[in-house]
Amino acid sequence: MDVEELRQRLEFEKQSLPLSAKLLSQCQIDFDKVDTALEWQQQSSQHHILCFSDPEYPALLKQISDPPSILFVKGQLESLLLPSIGMVGSRNASVGGLSTANTLAAELVQLGFSITSGMATGIDGAAHKAALGNNGVTIAVLGTGVDCIYPKRHSNLYQQIQQSGCIVSEYWPQIGPFAGNFPKRNRIISGLSLGSIVVEATRKSGSLITARLAMEQNREVFAVPGSVAGGYHQGCHDLLKNGAKLVECAADVVEELSTMTSFHLEDVANRHHIEDNTTNLPFSALLASVGYETTSIDMVVEHSGKSIDLVLVEMLELELQGWVAQVPGGYVRLERR
């Protein structure tokens, strides 16, 4: 992308904003920033600038009410194609909370999900590290410019994330850590994700902003219960009282996602391509259990000889990849063209 192309795109994005002509005329694009951003992009093949109209712009993020008009991405751009689960929680997490985040993130990446979080201390950092430690993909959404490492103690984590996943920000390079930017970035964490898990949170935790935004975006919200002593889990318990899904293990997340309508899944499936060859499928035996007419989940379990939990996990993967669709009464196999 050259200077003129980016300028034209930004001008187009500005004109697309739902503002009056008077307000639009007052919106001025700082083209010095544009030049700085393009210089940053040219520094490495792993530096990417995505405008809203780009085909690589994450499909799920496009569906929220206020998607960023531009994204700066550092690392593996293709990592944004994976179905993702957001994971957030307290910065001052307990030992138990960190252990839970580690276990959940490890289980989810082993099932083929990426983990999206905010690279903060506490639960965020534990989720990122667990994903990487289990050869998974993780995405860090920053409240700073994509080239600004915050907190500094996560310098190594920042570098490691880019090896298989990516760093994402809507803020221009060289933007530092301003308090007001962090709550705003939370809508990107939830917007990139099929659902968001709050692992540990007090009633004043910033993680609850992510949960609220996920609800507003019509995304799934999950919460991990904990002790009523100390107040470390009050925020999670409030979420559970208000309809969040209780999570004890990754299977709870998969079970809830498997009951979703195709609203989110179709968009992810369209971006999650695999070869049309069932012999290359990891779940070819399970796929053979699903007919082109409605097949109940009980029949799939009986025919495949697998446990219900494993069937739900693998059926979700097949659904994400566009091989089957959930219908009233079970699943149907889709014809691949």
pTM over 0.95: no
**Do residues 66 and 97 both lie within one domain?**
no
**Do residues 237 and 295 both lie within one domain?**
no
- Kindly report the CATH number assigned to the domain that includes residue 85: 3.40.50.450
Does 302 fall in a domain? yes
**Do residues 114 and 232 both lie within one domain?**
yes
Mind giving me the DSSP string for 108-136?
A: HHHTT-EEEE---TTHHHHHHHHHHHTT-
- Parallel, antiparallel, or unpaired: how do β-strands 166-169 and 70-75 relate? antiparallel
- Tell me 181's DSSP state: H
Amino acid letter, 49? I
> With contact defined as beta carbons under 8 Å apart, do 207 and 88 qualify?
yes
Q: pLDDT tens digit string along 15-72?
A: 555 556 655 555 555 666 777 788 899 999 999 999 888 889 999 999 999 999 899 9
Coil, strand or helix at 64: coil
**Do residues 230 and 97 both lie within one domain?**
yes
Residues 6 or more apart whose Cβ sits within 8 Å of residue 204? 235
C-alpha span between 275 and 334 (Å, rounded)? 14
Number of domains in the chain: 3
**Do residues 100 and 215 both lie within one domain?**
yes
Does 266 fall in a domain? no
**Do residues 136 and 223 both lie within one domain?**
yes
**Do residues 88 and 63 both lie within one domain?**
no
| DSSP-assigned beta bridge partners for residue 167 | 74, 140
pLDDT at residue 275 in the model: 34
Longest dimension (CA), the chain: 65
Does 265 fall in a domain? no
Banded pLDDT at 274 (limits 50, 70, 90): very low
> With contact defined as beta carbons under 8 Å apart, do 135 and 109 qualify?
yes
> With contact defined as beta carbons under 8 Å apart, do 315 and 286 qualify?
yes
Give me the domain span that covers residue 135.
Answer: 78-257
